[in-house]
Amino acid sequence: SASCKILNPATAACTGAKCAYLAKAGMTGPEHVLTTEDGGMLAAMSNGYDVSKVSANLGTIWEVKYMDNKPYPCCRSTHCTIDASLYLMEHDGVRPEQIDHIEVYTYLVGNKQCGMSDGSIHPTKAVEAKFSTPFTVATALLYGRVTLEEFTQDKIDDPKVQELLSHVKVITDDTFTSRYPDHWGCRVVAYLKDGSRHEATIPDASGSTDNPLTTQQLTAKIKGILLRVMDETKAEETMEYLHNIEMVSELRSV
């Protein structure tokens, strides 16, 4: 499995920021790069494109405000199940050693992405674990969090993780499928060894426009990433730049 996917969002964000600064400095590009019939991007991608949508509401509606902020470093389709698992642990007191088995009901695409393949059911490396609902559910319940630290090889190979994920079954649910892609929801049901059951339903994954992260949650995520490559002081300085990026005159100052 390819590991380069982790570069795509970062590269896109970096390129977008660079383009904004270049445009501000006066640089121009090909006028018809989108619409020319021979090599234009829109023509290459669709036979029925509408170029007017590119500039519709330009300067009045900012689409970045309607983007999700992923709280967990794994496939977005696992996020509602992580939210539900953490809820069961924090609010119902469910503990891994109590669990007999878990059923996850979610939309069809989510099951295809993270519940059906052999890599999802039996993850052995990070790229598989990030697309595995059983793994992320087990990790959430065992550690009370799902961060980059939980996708190390040691954590993936941990017998406790592998044992618990083997008791997680992902099931396609028609109701959640009908709501997708406007809502990426799920229901997680934990059946305990004492015969009781606990369940949690998440209509919208955390970090979505319908269930946004708090500033504190977003800051904690960013800081956790930065601390992997820099010390506390530099991380705080970088976060200050990011919070005020519209005031930064040069990217190299970041």
pLDDT for the residue 252? 60
Tens-level pLDDT at each residue, the chain (254 residues): 577 877 888 898 889 889 988 999 999 988 889 988 888 899 898 888 999 988 899 889 988 888 899 999 999 999 999 999 999 999 999 999 999 999 999 999 999 999 999 999 999 999 999 999 999 999 999 999 999 999 999 999 999 999 999 999 999 999 999 999 999 999 999 999 999 999 999 999 999 999 999 988 888 888 888 999 999 999 998 888 888 877 777 656 55
CATH (residue range 76-202): 3.30.1330.120
Per-position DSSP letters for the chain, written without gaps between them: ---GGGHHHHHHHHHHHHHHHHHHTT----TTTTT-TTT-HHHHH-SS--THHHHTTTTT--GGGGS---SSSS-GGGHHHHHHHHHHHHHS---GGGEEEEEEEE-HHHHHHHTSSHHHHS--SHHHHTT-HHHHHHHHHHHS---GGGGSHHHHH-HHHHHHHTTEEEEE-HHHHHHTTT---EEEEEEETTS-EEEEEESS-TTBTTBPPPHHHHHHHHHHHHTTTS-HHHHHHHHHHHHTGGG-S-GGG-
Domain boundaries, the chain: 76-202, 215-253
